[in-house]
Amino acid sequence: MTPCPGFRDASPSDAIRVDDMRAWEVNSVWWGVSLLKLMENAGRAVADAIQCVLGDVRGKRVVVYAGRGGNGGDGVVAARHLTSRGARVEVHLVYDPALTTHPDTRENLSYLLKSTRVKVLTPYSKGWLEPGDYDILVDAILGVGVRGPLRSPISDALKVFNQSQGLRVAVDIPTGLDPDTGVAVEGTARADLTVTMHRPKVGLFLNQGPLYAGRVLVADIGIPFEAEEYAGPGDVASRVPVRPREAYKGLGGRVLVIGGSQFYVGAPMIAAKAAALSGADLVYLASPQHIAFPAAIENPYIIPVVREASGDAMESLGRLMARAHSIVFGPGMGVTDETRELLRFLIENAKGKPLIIDADGLKVLAELKTKLWGEAVLTPHRGEAGMLLGIEVDPLNVDPLDLARRVSREYNATTIVKAPIDAICDPNGRCRLNKTGHPAMAVGGTGDALTGIIASFIARRVALGREPDTLNVVAAAAYICGRAGELAVEEKGETITPLDVVDRIQQAIKEARSIAAGG
């Protein structure tokens, strides 16, 4: 097999899901690397891979079947590069150019439509989708974003592609192959070579994936390392699903907040309000009566649940836990026997469910030293992280990332250590960072807001039947909480309160989705 400098052969250990790729592309833009630049690099990589496999492409006949999205843009760029290397290139547009949906594809296509060297065939023009004696055929129709049955004219183009004798090349993933599951629909492109961008997609290794992908080469297209390492707007847009059109009450997630005590009133109210403003459909606040009812009166979308220390009350709480998609435990609880009893009850009865432990819940957990589970989340600041590990730490001279790794291993739970740069790690050793936020947020209550956002975002995924993706969703929540704080400081200066942060959660989410949409 011909080695190709600048590429690596795909490995399942390096594979990612579509959510990851979408998040990192948006985060790249946030870091200053445009999608137009990534498209240019991807198209050049396709041309480079073809030249590596075949050698000199001068005089070779090439046909590119191009869709109207980003995958089509990669193919259009590849056509330009192959032409400049002496190939005789045709581009068959699967859709009318006016229907091109991706702005960068439109920009790259504008050159080809004026080119005197590249033959561009629009739908139903003479010769469009007709078989030919091509040396190289490029499938740049759909990419990772489209699933489901293939219809005309896509199926027509792929029929010609699959019946041809030349080198069949797929851009990123063969059209028709599910990038996450590897399930191939009827008429899926059968490639000899797939040039996949940045990282291989999981579906290339699953089910029918290997049968349709052929040899898979991985191309570096210039996505910056920080786009993966740091949380960004792409994590919000790709990992926090929007409500489907057929949504009903509860499909956005049910969050249960267990917190509050005789002397601590505000913390559970902040967490519950943050969960609601982050998009949870139903938020239950299980607190003493003097907290639950006033919270619901002030915020009518919060459902009050009076928490009592009795057997019947525990049974009732258990039923509510079973209905919740995520549970918050600890804000304002105090370190009491009731707190200890409730945490033991949760550990025994909520195993496997997303459980976010904060504040006084962390102090009791440090006493119990109990292992948790992958869907559990711990939210300590640096001092609390040291407490969980049984060590003294100097917050100004300790590495939050090291603390997060150690706590997540010790307790078998995803951990975010809150710091000027937040560190998030899961029990498998994977970590993310978050740089949004402001020193003015170093006041009591902002951690409760973060806890509510985490619970809401995870609940949304669980309610829709998706895996929690705990590490990345916690990173998305940290980004939103920090950005909401930045927005509050921009408007009010450095004397902000936790409620100022909470009140800007919706604005931060809207901004993140706007960045992802190119706004």
Q: DSSP letter string over 290-329? A: HHHHHHHHHSTTEEEEE--SSHHHHHHHHHHHHH-SEEEE
Quote the pLDDT of residue 315. Answer: 81
Question: Could you tell me the strand order of the sheet in which 326-329 lies?
Answer: 302-306, 282-287, 254-258, 326-329, 355-357, 376-378, 414-417, 422-425, 431-434
From 420, 506, 435, 432, select the one nearest 473 (Cα to Cα).
432
| Per-residue pLDDT at 61 | 97
At residue 311, the pLDDT reads 57
The pair of structure tokens assigned to 491 is 């408007």
Q: In sequence order, what are the beta bridge partners of 285? A: 257, 304
| Backbone angles phi and psi of 369, in degrees to 5 | 55, 45
> For residues 14 and 218, is the Cβ–Cβ distance under 8 A?
yes
Q: What is the pLDDT of residue 459?
A: 97
User: 482, exposed or middle or buried, with CB in 10 Å at 0-12, 13-18, 19+?
Assistant: buried
Structure-token pair, residue 422:
């937040």
Structural fold of domain 244-516: UDP-N-acetylmuramoyl-L-alanine:D-glutamate ligase (3.40.1190)
In contact, 7 and 218? CB cutoff 8 Å: yes
Q: What is the pLDDT of residue 243?
A: 84
- Structure confidence at residue 312 (pLDDT): 63
Query: Per CATH, the architecture of 7-229 is what?
Result: 3-Layer(aba) Sandwich (3.40)
Q: Where in the chain is the domain with CATH 3.40.1190.20?
A: 244-516
Answer whether the bond into residue 153 is a cis peptide, omega within 30°: yes
Quick one: which H or E segment has residue 259? none
Q: Within the chain, which residue ranges are assigned CATH 3.40.50.10260? A: 7-229
pLDDT recorded at residue 307: 82
- pLDDT digit of tens for each residue in the chain (519 aa)? 778 889 999 999 999 999 999 999 999 999 999 999 999 999 999 999 999 999 999 999 999 999 999 999 999 999 999 999 999 999 999 999 999 989 999 999 999 999 889 999 999 999 999 999 999 999 999 988 777 899 999 999 999 999 999 999 999 999 999 999 999 999 999 999 999 999 999 999 999 999 999 999 999 999 999 999 999 999 999 999 998 888 778 788 999 999 998 888 899 999 999 999 999 999 999 999 899 888 889 889 999 998 876 556 678 888 899 999 999 999 999 999 989 999 999 999 999 999 999 999 999 999 999 999 989 999 999 999 999 999 999 888 899 999 999 999 999 999 999 999 999 999 999 999 999 999 999 998 999 999 999 999 999 999 999 999 999 999 999 999 999 999 999 999 999 999 999 999 999 999 999 999 876
In this structure, the number of other CB atoms found within 10 A of the CB of residue 14 comes to 11
Give 279's contacts (C-beta < 8 A, 6+ positions apart). 240, 252, 253, 456, 457, 460, 509
* Helices and strands (H, E) in the chain, number of each type: 19, 17
pLDDT the model gives residue 316: 82
DSSP H or E run through 167? strand 167-171
| pLDDT score for 248 | 78
Contact 450, 380 (CB under 8 A): no
Q: Which amino acid is at 125?
A: S
**Rg of the chain (C-alpha set):** 26
